[in-house]
Amino acid sequence: MKPTMLSTVAAIALAGAAAAEDVRVYNWSDYIDEELLTKFEEETGINLIYDVFDSNEVLETKMLAGSSGYDVVVPTGTFLQRQIAAGVFQPLDTSQLPNLENMWDVIEERTATYDPDNAYSINYMWGTTGLGVNTGKVTEILGEDAPIGSLSLIFDPANMEKLAACGVHFLDAPTEMIPAALTYAGLPSDSKDQDDLAKAEEVIMAVRPYIQKFHSSEYINALANGDICVAFGWSGDILQARDRAAEAENGVDIAYTAPTEGALMWFDQMAIPADAPNPEGAHAFLNFIMDAQNMAQASNYVYYANGNAASKEFLLEDVIGDTAIYPDEAALENLYTVTPWGARDQRNLTRTWTKIKSGT
């Protein structure tokens, strides 16, 4: 009995010691190869606690409430900018991040819009928002010359009326959908103007009866199973749907296109909260992620491009060679970015979105 007691006490003591070396990471769901998490624990001896979220809003509310207990969080650029202003994050200690040299200057230049000098964050993944299409069914319904890569596929009522029976999903994210509707209406995609917002609302309301659902993650499976024909969603998610369909060999062909009228480009950034319990551990995690091979492993798994130049040589051909993931020069020209919404604009935006979704 006694030895057991002792070992129990020892185990508790050890657990207590390990608790001091926990690092808590809060990342998007389905956004990493989980082998990397075990690898991090093995290499550093730090105990990794990995939680996931599925919306920037949830993350932001936790951050603004303070004392979230997380050491690393992954907001999107626009949200990051606002959170930096609110004093949520601590500046990175570059001396603890030797792998910073792996980062890609082209992406760093763009993320500097949100985080000047990239003082608070590193890029994890980036991608575009666009059209996921079940090519077989859509060409069957709309004919061979269906506008598969154009926003008119989802915003032209004539097309949507025909696609409705087959199913169309929109992201339940006004910060993604409104810029797309503005682009389609020929207005500046980053406009926060009330009148422009009203026009974007008109664009979506015209096709509202034909939209089956607003949801930000269900479309992956729905596309892959052939339950829906079109989804407006995030590039990597749609590519995951394409691969799931291919693996299932169910005859469903999914294609992702960034809309020809212009596509939103976004950046998910890893940052360290100002009140992180273990900032050293957080830096260790960031440095681990910035390792060229680790970053490549993550991209190869989730089908999103990353901001790590050194990782490119380790990327699979169907990741680096796919212009839907790594756009070529011409396609890059076609991508736009947006800025954060202020409190009043955000209220207008959410109100418009509620009106679009519920009709009230």
Partner 1 sequence: MRRAVLIAVPYFWLLALFLIPFAVVFKISLSDIALAIPPYTPTAKDGIWTMLSQLDFENFVFLTQDDLYWKAYVSSLQIALISTVLTLLVGYPMAYAMARAPEQWRPTLLMLVILPFWTSFLIRVYAWVGILSGEGFLNQFLLWIGIIDAPLTILNTNIAVYIGIVYTYLPFMILPIYSALDRLDGSLIEAAEDLGCSRIRAFWLVTIPLSRNGIIAGCFLVFIPALGEFVIPSLLGGSGTLMIGKVLFEEFFSNRDWPVASAVAVILLLILIIPIVLFQRNEQKQVEDGS
Task: Give the residues lining the site for partner 1 (CB under 8 A).
Answer: 55, 57-58, 60-61, 63-66, 82, 85-88, 174, 213-214, 343, 346-347, 350-351, 353-354, 357-360
At its nearest, how many Å lie between partner 1 and the CB of residue 110? 23
DSSP 242-296: HHHHHHHTSS--EEEE--TT-EEEEEEEEE-BTT-S-HHHHHHHHHHHTSHHHHH
Q: How far is the CB of 180 from partner 1 (least distance, A)?
A: 18
Dist. CA 170–CA 232, nearest whole Å: 5
Per DSSP, what are the bridge partners of residue 48? 23
For residues 135 and 348, which CB has a smaller minimum distance to partner 1 in the complex?
A: 348
| Closer CB to partner 1, 222 or 305, in the complex | 222
Cβ 71 to partner 1 shortest distance, Å: 17
User: Which residue lies nearer to partner 1 by CB, 14 or 165?
Assistant: 165
Least distance to partner 1, CB of residue 57, Å: 4
Between 199 and 357, CB nearer to partner 1:
357
In the complex, least distance from residue 30 CB atom to partner 1, rounded to whole angstroms = 18
124 CB contacts (<8 Å, ≥6 apart)? 27, 74, 268, 269, 270, 289, 298, 306, 307
Shortest Å distance, C-beta 283 to partner 1: 22
Residue 219 vs 288, nearer CB to partner 1: 219
Token pair for 336: 């736009």
8 Å CB contact between 181 and 353: no
Residues 284/46, Cβ–Cβ less than 8 Å = yes
Collapsing DSSP to helix, strand or coil, 206 comes out as helix
Distance CA 183, CA 198 (A): 13
d(CA 123, CA 226) in angstroms, rounded, equals 33
Q: Which residues of 191-218 are buried (b: 16+ CB within 10 A; e: fewer)?
A: bbeeebbebbbebbeebbebbbebebbb
How many Cβ atoms from other residues are within 10 Å of residue 116's Cβ?
A: 11
Closer residue to partner 1 in complex, CB, 82/242: 82
CB 215 → partner 1: shortest distance, Å? 9
Residue 51: other Cβ atoms inside 10 A: 12
Residue closer to partner 1 by CB (options 39, 357) is 357
Q: How far is the CB of 85 from partner 1 (least distance, A)?
A: 6
Angle at Cα 200 formed by Cα 199 and Cα 201, nearest 5°?
Answer: 85
Please state the closest distance from residue 313 (CB atom) to partner 1, in A. 41
Q: Closer to partner 1 by CB, 228 or 282: give it.
A: 228
Tell me whether residue 37 or residue 274 sits nearer to partner 1 (CB atom). 274
Q: How far is the CB of 82 from partner 1 (least distance, A)?
A: 7
Instruction: State which residue, 18 or 64, has the beta carbon closest to partner 1.
Output: 64
Q: Are strands 121-134 and 263-271 parallel, antiparallel or unpaired?
A: antiparallel
Task: Give which of 169, 238, 303, 217 is closest to 29, Cα–Cα.
Answer: 217
